[in-house]
Homo-oligomer: A and B are copies of this chain.
């Protein structure tokens, strides 16, 4: 999966900021900083930070990505996303050996280092939020958005727990919705809302963008479920059909592939409707939303 070319400038700016905000590989203890960097630079497409920068751009259209007031929030969320992948891949959880075609963190560095590298990234995320260039009030609002999205109550960790507990079981549609909204949509919602907050958006605009982010995040995860069924491992860069093999709760599993396509399209449409009042200022965010559900990998 590659993002449209016009997001390349964002991606480069994000990678550069991630590099700057992570401790150097030569900083003691070397082993953990090497592991943290390995996983952060293992080929992520930076969807969340780009959503964050693009949401900020609605309110600060002239801000260059590399000097965006949203950059700390964007990188913090990428660190949280990375930590969640490291911990999800552990033997006690999804037990994955490969991630984006490379050995997972625990395969490369051992389980102890992987657990602690995840802990270190989560902690660093909150540290760099505290060092944001925005006002103290905006920074606290960002802290609230990110910590609740990453937490156990309707947040990422809660979604991961429900996901693990649903394996091998017949799940109800509302459980499936809970899992996808908590595990994936919540952090994508925070990516968008924190970008807006960083750039000084008002309460009503933040609420609209929160709804956009939540809904496009949900559509993104439904699309992910569909691709796991429809595409080859080669196209995905990870093992296709893994959801079925692990008996995960998925949209195709509960609704079938055809209806899942309809659900993803409807969610994406609902999401994009939230951007109407922003007109042309949201055109890049709109393009990104369309890409996220039309991608084939």
Is A162 a contact partner of B122 (Cβ separation < 8 A)? Answer: no
A155/B28 contact (C-beta < 8 A), A92-B111, A130-B144 known: no
Chain B contacts for A153, CB-based, 8 A: 23, 27-28
Beta-carbon nearest neighbor of A138 in chain B: B136
Chain B contacts for A31, CB-based, 8 A: 161, 165
A147/B162 contact (C-beta < 8 A), A32-B157, A36-B152, A119-B118 known: no
Quick check: is A254 within 8 A (CB to CB) of the other chain?
Answer: no
| CA–CA, A165 and B137, complex, Å | 41
Quick check: is A258 within 8 A (CB to CB) of the other chain?
Answer: no
Summarize A's interface: helix, strand, loop or mixed: helix
Min CB gap A3→B, angstroms: 28
Is B92 a contact partner of A110 (Cβ separation < 8 A)? Answer: yes
Quick check: is A191 within 8 A (CB to CB) of the other chain?
Answer: no
Please pick, from B92, B122, B129, the residue contacting A119 in the complex, using a CB distance under 8 A: B122
Chain B contacts for A131, CB-based, 8 A: 144
Is A158 a contact partner of B112 (Cβ separation < 8 A)? Answer: no
Quick check: is A33 within 8 A (CB to CB) of the other chain?
Answer: yes
Chain B contacts for A28, CB-based, 8 A: 153, 158, 162, 178
Chain B contacts for A151, CB-based, 8 A: 120, 123-124, 127
Interface string of A84-121 (1 = CB under 8 A from B): 00010010110000000000000000111101101110
Q: List 14 A-B contacts (CB under 8 A).
A: A28-B153, A28-B178, A29-B161, A29-B165, A93-B112, A112-B164, A116-B161, A120-B151, A124-B151, A124-B152, A127-B147, A127-B148, A130-B143, A140-B140
With A90-B115, A92-B112, A116-B152 given, name 13 new contacts (CB 8 A).
A31-B165, A32-B161, A87-B116, A92-B110, A93-B116, A116-B160, A120-B152, A123-B147, A123-B151, A123-B152, A126-B143, A127-B147, A129-B143
Q: Which residues of A contact B (CB under 8 A)?
A: 23, 27-29, 31-33, 36, 83, 87, 90, 92-93, 110-113, 115-116, 118-120, 122-124, 126-127, 129-131, 135-137, 139-140, 143-144, 147-148, 150-153, 155, 157-158, 160-162, 164-165, 178
